[in-house]
Amino acid sequence: MKAYRDLSREELLLLKEQLEQEFVDVKGKGLKLDMSRGKPSVAQLDMGMDIFDVLNSGSDLTSMDGVDVRNYGVLDGLAEAKHMMADIMGVSAEQVIVYGNASLNVMYDAVSSAMTHGVMGGTPWCKLDKVKFLCPAPGYDRHFAITQHFGIEMITVPMTPQGPDMDMVERLVAGDDSIKGIWCVPKYSNPQGYSYSDETVRRFANLKPAAKDFRIFWDNAYAVHHLYDEEERQDRILEILGECEKAGNPDMVYEFASTSKISFSGAGVAAIASSQKNLECIRRTMAIQTIGHDKINQLRHVRYFKNFDGIREHMRKHAALMRPKFEAVETVLERELSGLEIGTWTKPKGGYFISFDAMEGCAKAIVAKCREAGVVLTGAGATFPYGKDPRDSNIRIAPSFPTPGEMQMATDLFVLCVKLVSVEKLLEGRNEA
């Protein structure tokens, strides 16, 4: 295929006409698909239904260390739930506090508590003139929403296939003590599906932040969310807590994980992993905030998955559903856009998203065009701080929720919109020239 930019004005105009006709046809089909969020599909959720048979009216609801999970007590989670969440994060159970149904809430609480009470004895952030976070972007919009909510200034750090631009991260955190944190999705990142290289993780562990209360918010959301069963096709990342300890920075990380995309979304079990000093500080706040999280749901999860092998086995079933959809998107993108030089995209081996970069200035228009024909994508810009993609280029594709057939239709529409908007953009440029 010839790159669009090498087409003549006449060729572009002709192409535009064809594409517009195709768009009218597709629009006529009356699609109605929501690909805006990383939601598990119904088929995935159906796979976890046996969890409801794990506990019944005859069950013994005593935990392994003798706790009646139906009653108050056990602030920081059942021992067996700590083990389960530790296995997911590749840490030890002593490094874990188990929470309620979602890790987003744990992250929110971590920032909120730093605002009102500071981090490990430091000044409450709300008492400081300025608090800043580094935001590798494209990234997760809900991370950025938390920092924005608390009036924390966000500094965009470019992402690379090896992780955030570490030269920039090192320089910024060393030189500015108002920089208190950085948002990271280290494995199968949202939205690009990149996994941090060993060098990146080590450079994180060896940061020399000017702020003593600087914390890395390590959202290990997709720790076990591989698309392929073969180990050589799975990403591995270094375990950050251990690396930080080696580097003499034992307290620098809050790691988060949940089973939201393992068992059920919004009805799973979440957890934090950190150093003992951080956990002690967190427990002091937790003791005020709650008598304890839902231990029955913790027990239900542990008895269902049994052990880490059980989780891996379950995730292999998820992968069998996710893989064809990711591959269908990639096949269509490859077939329809390859060589046109109007977009690039990532080819993740796990996680929930594919990241697409359109020609500069086209993302918003593509998303709007898709919506016009009935396919809702994540809003353009959402993957950047303040919802503003400076290049208006990045689009997050979420293949998890639709069926494979729907995914096919949605991607066909998507590439059509990419072509159409790109042609319009190129023609605009010609007119201006």
Q: Which residues bind a second copy (CB under 8 A)?
A: 37, 39-40, 42, 45, 48-53, 55-59, 68-73, 100-102, 104-105, 108, 112, 115-117, 124, 126-127, 142, 145-146, 149-150, 260, 264-267, 285, 288-297
* Rounded least distance, CB 140 to a second copy, Å: 12
Q: Which helix (H) or strand (E) holds 254?
A: strand 253-258
Q: How many residues comprise the chain?
A: 433
Say how far apart CA 130 and CA 36 lie, in whole Å: 33
The residue among 40 and 350 lying less far from a second copy, judged by its C-beta, is 40
Minimum separation from the CB atom of position 293 to a second copy (A):
6
Cβ of residue 51: shortest distance to a second copy, in angstroms? 8
Burial of 214 by CB count in 10 Å (0-12 exposed, 13-18 middle, 19+ buried)? buried
- CB-wise, 77 or 163, nearer to a second copy? 77
Nearer to a second copy among residue 11 and residue 280 (C-beta):
280
Residue 263 Cβ, how far from a second copy at the closest point, in Å? Answer: 9
β-pair partners for 271: 98, 257
Residue 145 C-beta: closest distance to a second copy, Å: 5
DSSP string, 284-304: HHHHHH-S---HHHHHHHHHH
End-to-end CA distance of the chain: 25
DSSP β-bridge partners for residue 98:
271
Shortest reach from residue 55's CB to a second copy, in Å: 5
d(C-alpha 407, C-alpha 413), whole Å = 10
In the complex with a second copy, the residue whose CB is nearer, 115 or 241, is: 115
Q: Which is nearer to a second copy, 68 or 199 (CB)?
A: 68
Output 8 or 56, the one with its CB closest to a second copy: 56
Query: What b/e string do you get for 294-312 counting C-beta neighbours within 10 Å, with b at 16 or more?
Result: ebebbbbbbebbeeeeebe
DSSP conformational letter for 123:
P
